[in-house]
Structure formats: structure tokens, C-alpha cells
Structure 1
Amino acid sequence: MGRSKKKGRAVSGILVVDKPLGLSSNQVLQRVKGFYQAQKAGHTGALDPQASGVLPICLGEATKFSQLLLESDKGYDTTATLGEVRSTGDAEGEVIKTAEVGEFSAGQLEAVLQQFRGDVVQVPPMFSALKLDGKPLYELARKGMSAEQAQAIAEKKRRTIQIHQLTLTDQRPRELDLSVRCSKGTYIRTLVEDIGDQLGCGAYVSRLRRSHSGPYHAAQMVTLEQLEALAEQQDLAALDQLLLPIETALPDSWPVVELSHQQADKILHGQAVSTGLKPAPSVQLWAVESGQRQLIGIGRIERGGIRPQRLLQVELLPVNG
């Protein structure tokens, strides 16, 4: 028996969605997949329901590069509300501790923020999607375990992350607005809680909006309302025009390897291709001929040959002439 035909369109590209408050990243993903009638889709790093902003969604062949975006740096704008510690680290949690909030000078705040720039050790929050023995921490947390048990489990997931930028953008009596650029795996809730601890009054995240995810930024975002309007008009062409090319997911720092159509065809059919290029751990593979360029995948250069790692399911463009 042959394989059953996949349902939906074989549409490929990357869409930068402005994730609204109140929806999970997966709910947004499923709505986008439906709007595009796409065969395959995946997001590139979840945002909590109470967070908003940049959520890149990969459609079709772009899903092969979603891991690159999962591992990329992120940017956030957040508000830290001072004087309270909450069970989840954000506005959804129960208040578990309160404290008086003093008057902090710009110098005092800068001295505290400086402690959290560069390499920082974090203990992830219990209310997170990280897993222990196959179970998400938030499931374990909701089973009513003691604070001591929760802390012991969270400690096992201690990790070092990088805070590339941490800037105070506004200050009010009980709130600090912060701009953060950080490595993958950074929990802003934990960062805000740790800043609150250093200030001596506690803090939680009352607003969180992602401004960057890898190469994608807020100016590229489209809303679910825009997408829904086009879907209701059945204007698939207009929807497709909103997609960014797959190659935008690839780091600019990666070397570009240009291949003839003959070389590209060999690689796509699993055959070896030699090259005189120097070894490189990550390269972009492009078929280039008669002025036409076409991304076929990514790979590495080792022992004088090209070793493909992720190849796109593409038909090479016909050669002119």
C-alpha cells in the first residue's frame, strides 16, 4: 500500500506572529496552520499565555530549521512589580510574600542590574515546561508538593545562561520596566525574582512581551486578526506574501557554499560531493547556476567533502538556455 497523501497545502516559509495575551503558543500555531491550510507547521519557542509578542512560526520545509531558532537569542520587554513574590513568578500566581518597597536611586538600581549581566546561574521556576523524569515541572508543581520538594526538583535543573543586555527603561514607585537580550533557556520570571531578591523587596513579572527571536523582530509581526481576515476572504496568495523566505532563519555568519546544479542534485540524492573548502562546522548549501540561486539545505565541511545535515525537499530550478 502507498503512503496516504498529506492533507493541506505544501506551503513553506516563516511567519512572525504577534502572539496575543491569553492564548498558548500551540493555540496560535494551530490557528495559523488552519489559516494557511498547511500540511505542516511548528513554532520556535513557546511563550506563556500571559506573554505576548514575537512568535516565529515555521511552515512546511521551514520546520527543518526550527531547532536553529529555538537555540537563538531572544529579546524581551518586561515590567517587574516590586513588593510581592508570587507562586508562579507572574501575575497568575498566588501572593506568597510581601514587603515594603523603598525608594531606589538610579545608581542603586544600576548596581543591582549589573550583577545580572553576562553569565548568570538560574534555577528555573517550578511552573515551567522543563521536564524531570518525563514530566513537566508545572505538572509536578500543581500536585501540591511542598515548597522544599519543589525547590529540590528545580535545583536539579540549575543552568548557566547569558544576559547580553539588561537595561532599565522606566521606573515607577512599585514598577521597573526592563529591556532584556538573552540566550536561549533564560527565564525572565526567574531573572525578575532574583532582581527583587537583591533589592530586598521581592518582585514578579506583571508584563512580558517578546521583542526579538533570533533574526526576527517586532516590526515584522502580523496579527491573528490580519491573518483571519485574509483567510475569511480565501486570499491564500495574500497570506503567502506575508511569509519570509526559509533562508532568513540561517545565521549570516555561516559560510555560503555555492554548488552547480550537478553537485546539488548529487547531494539531494545522497551522493558524496568533494570540495576544496576548509573545514567548517555549519554552512549554507545553495544551488547556483545561470544567475539563479536556490537554497537546498545546510551541512558541514569535513575531510574535503560536504556532509549534509538538513536538506530541503525541493526540485531544482530549470537551468536557463
Structure 2
Amino acid sequence: MSKKPRTPAVKRMFRKLDGILLLDKPQGLSSNQALQRVRHLFRAEKAGHTGSLDPLATGLLPVCFGEATKIAGLLLGSRKAYETTAELGLTTDSDDADGAPLLQRDVPEFDDARIEAALAPLRGPIRQRAPIFSALKQGGEPLYAKARRGETIEAPERDVVVHDLRLLRRDRNRLCLQVECGSGTYVRSLVRDMGEHLGCGAHVATLRRQWVDPFTAPRMYRLEELQALAEGQGEAALDACLLPIEAGLAGFPRVVVDAAQAHRLGQGQRLRLEGVSPAELVAIHDETGRILGLGEIDSDLILRPGRLFTWTTEAAVGGRQA
């Protein structure tokens, strides 16, 4: 009996696409898995996310396509807000519900004042020890890779800032907490350390990222919603979900240049400006409002171009050739 010939796989064609998608990451996927799902859905040549969420976590994961990847590092360092549920009485090796149990302890009786006393030392500028299951690298390798091999790990400590940490509600041995923090803060570490202050241990049972500055009231899209748009209305409907790159730079000082100045910037030249103030980082726009790139204004009010978007440099090259 002859075998039926196999239908050759259709090679997916990717396209140039610029913009920012505010993805509502589902539970159970790593940030990279979620990124690859939307990248293939949008057929984007280039994509990157702005700060990992654990597989257990849900919520806002800004995904940058194309030229927007040039500002991903800025969003990575932004202020973020979370709602988390801390389960008291059990510590795990990952400090969350996905980890293996380490120690079970009785949960003593305590009131909200005792919880407040445990939270107070974890606010403000603090020194925090990262979880051993984290993406931090040691010797060029993520800690989680070493931990999975059973290696003994001394998790590093680093300085972080916790702007807000408070109890929202309590349901027996579960505490719902609101967290607002700066870059590099691990909510799992906050919950772990709170549990030790209470004397019973704790781990993260649920975690949801609510916002990332400057997207403080985000319209997020679920994977299922994007898939339905792609199948029902096509790529134009998908593309309408994207924010322009300018939206990710809303919190930075804005500088507007005319066409001649934009051309010079695209050639890498510096500009002397009037009516501006020195700034380490500014968002440079043309007179139509389109973003051209990032730069710095020094004490002599000289604008030094930094990372420029391709349309800025390509326009300058095209103009020179003409």
C-alpha cells in the first residue's frame, strides 16, 4: 500500500511591524512563550518583551515589535504595580506555588497590626535577596538553571525600592497584598520575607501585574482575543491593537525639531537648541509629532543624538544621496 504524499508545510512569512502590544499574559506560560505566540500571530520579524513574568503570574506584559524594541530597556526599568496573594504557613524552593514545598509551619493568631509590622520593614529603599529560581545570571548562567540541577546557590542581594506594600484583605491564611515597586524587585521575595517576619513562612499563591509605567491604565489584550481577531477580521484588526512607539515614551521630556534639524540628527550631528533644559534622556519628535529617536541635552544645551529610529537615519541617507 503506497503512502499518501505529505503536504509540505507552508513557510510563515514575517513582516516589518513597529508598535507596542499590551498583552495580558495568561497563567502557565513563560514570558518568552507568550512573546513567541503573539510574534507569530502578528507575523512580526522582530519582537521583545519588557520584563519577565513568572509562568504563575498573569497581567501586563508589554511586547515591543520592530523599532519599539529600542525602548524595551526603558520600559524594563519602569515602575510597576502588582496584586498578589500570599499563602501563609508554607515555604517553597521557588517562593511561589509552582515550587517544591520546603517547610510547613503553623500559622499563629495575629491581627492586622501584626501584619503591618511585618510589612513595614519591606517598604522604601531596601536590600533584597533574589529567589534562587530567578532569571538573574551568575557566571553567565541563569540561577534557575543551576537550581534545577540541584546546585547549591547563594542568591545575590541587591538594592530595590518598594513604593507601596499594603494589605488589601485577608481570608484565613491568605493575604491579598498591593505592591508598587521599582525595577528589579521580586514580589516573591517580599512575600517570603514577610512570612519570616510573621514567623510562619509564606509563598506567592497568585500574582497579577496591573500596570507598568507609563501604561498605568492599560487596555490589555488576551491571547484568545487576539486569535479571534486574526481569524475573524484579519491583520488590520490586529494591527489596530498596537500602540505607537511614542506611547512608551510619554514620561520623558519632549523635544521637537524641524525638518532640517531632523535631517542633521539622522546624520549623527549634534544640535544647539534654545528654550530647553539639560536632560539625560529626551524623546525627539518632528513637527508632525512622529518620534525620531532618543537623545541627551548637555549643560551647553547641545542635543546629542542617541538611539535613533531607522526612518530618521534612512531619511538622512536618502536626502544625502539625492
- TM-score relative to the length of structure 2: 0.89
Give the superposition deviation at 1:279.
2.4
Amino acid at match of 1:230: L
Report the 3-state secondary structure (helix = DSSP H, G, I; strand = E; otherwise coil) of the residue aligned with 2:72. Answer: helix
Amino acid at match of 2:79: D
Deviates more, 1:267-276 or 1:157-166: 267-276
Alignment of 1:109-128 (within 5 A): 109-128=115-134
Q: Which residue of 2 aligns with 1:189?
A: 188
Report the 3-state secondary structure (helix = DSSP H, G, I; strand = E; otherwise coil) of the residue aligned with 1:220. Answer: coil
- Residues 29-59 of structure 1: CA distance to partner in whole angstroms, max 9, x if unpaired? 1111111111111100011111111000001
Q: Which residue of 2 aligns with 1:95?
A: 101
- Residues 197-225 of structure 1: CA distance to partner in whole angstroms, max 9, x if unpaired? 00000000110111112222464101101
Report the 3-state secondary structure (helix = DSSP H, G, I; strand = E; otherwise coil) of the residue aligned with 1:314. Answer: helix
Candidates 54, 65, 73, aligned match of 1:67 = 73
Give yes or no for contact 1:103–1:173 (8 Å, CA) kept in 2. Answer: no
Deviates more, 1:197-206 or 1:269-278: 269-278
Report the 3-state secondary structure (helix = DSSP H, G, I; strand = E; otherwise coil) of the residue aligned with 2:85. Answer: strand
Distance 1:205 1:104 in 2: 20
Amino acid at match of 1:130: L
Give the superposition deviation at 1:94.
1.6
Work out whether 1:49 is the aligned partner of 2:47. no
Give yes or no for contact 1:53–1:218 (8 Å, CA) kept in 2. Answer: no
- TM-score relative to the length of structure 1: 0.89
Distance 1:191 1:24 in 2: 21
Sequence identity (%) = 45
Q: Which stretches of structure 1, 4 residues or more, deviate above 6 A after TM superposition?
A: none
Q: Which residue of 1 aligns with 2:174?
A: 175
Give yes or no for contact 2:42–2:235 (8 Å, CA) kept in 1. Answer: yes
**Matched pairs, number:** 299
Report the 3-state secondary structure (helix = DSSP H, G, I; strand = E; otherwise coil) of the residue aligned with 1:23. Answer: coil
Q: Which residue of 1 aligns with 2:212?
A: 213
**CA RMSD in angstroms, aligned pairs only:** 1.5
Give yes or no for contact 1:54–1:216 (8 Å, CA) kept in 2. Answer: no
Amino acid at match of 1:203: A
Report the 3-state secondary structure (helix = DSSP H, G, I; strand = E; otherwise coil) of the residue aligned with 1:139. Answer: helix
Distance 1:24 1:198 in 2: 30
Unaligned runs of 5+ in 2: 1-12, 316-322
Report the 3-state secondary structure (helix = DSSP H, G, I; strand = E; otherwise coil) of the residue aligned with 1:296. Answer: strand
Give yes or no for contact 1:286–1:293 (8 Å, CA) kept in 2. Answer: yes
Report the 3-state secondary structure (helix = DSSP H, G, I; strand = E; otherwise coil) of the residue aligned with 2:272. Answer: coil
Report the 3-state secondary structure (helix = DSSP H, G, I; strand = E; otherwise coil) of the residue aligned with 2:163. Answer: strand
Give yes or no for contact 2:293–2:305 (8 Å, CA) kept in 1. Answer: yes
Q: Which residue of 1 aligns with 2:253?
A: 255
Give yes or no for contact 2:230–2:237 (8 Å, CA) kept in 1. Answer: no
Unaligned runs of 5+ in 1: 1-6, 317-321
Work out whether 1:309 is the aligned partner of 2:315. no
Give the superposition deviation at 1:27.
0.9
Give yes or no for contact 2:45–2:66 (8 Å, CA) kept in 1. Answer: yes
Distance 1:243 1:295 in 2: 16
Give yes or no for contact 1:74–1:213 (8 Å, CA) kept in 2. Answer: yes
Amino acid at match of 2:108: G
Report the 3-state secondary structure (helix = DSSP H, G, I; strand = E; otherwise coil) of the residue aligned with 1:63. Answer: helix
- Residues 97-140 of structure 1: CA distance to partner in whole angstroms, max 9, x if unpaired? 11111122111111221121101111101100101111111111
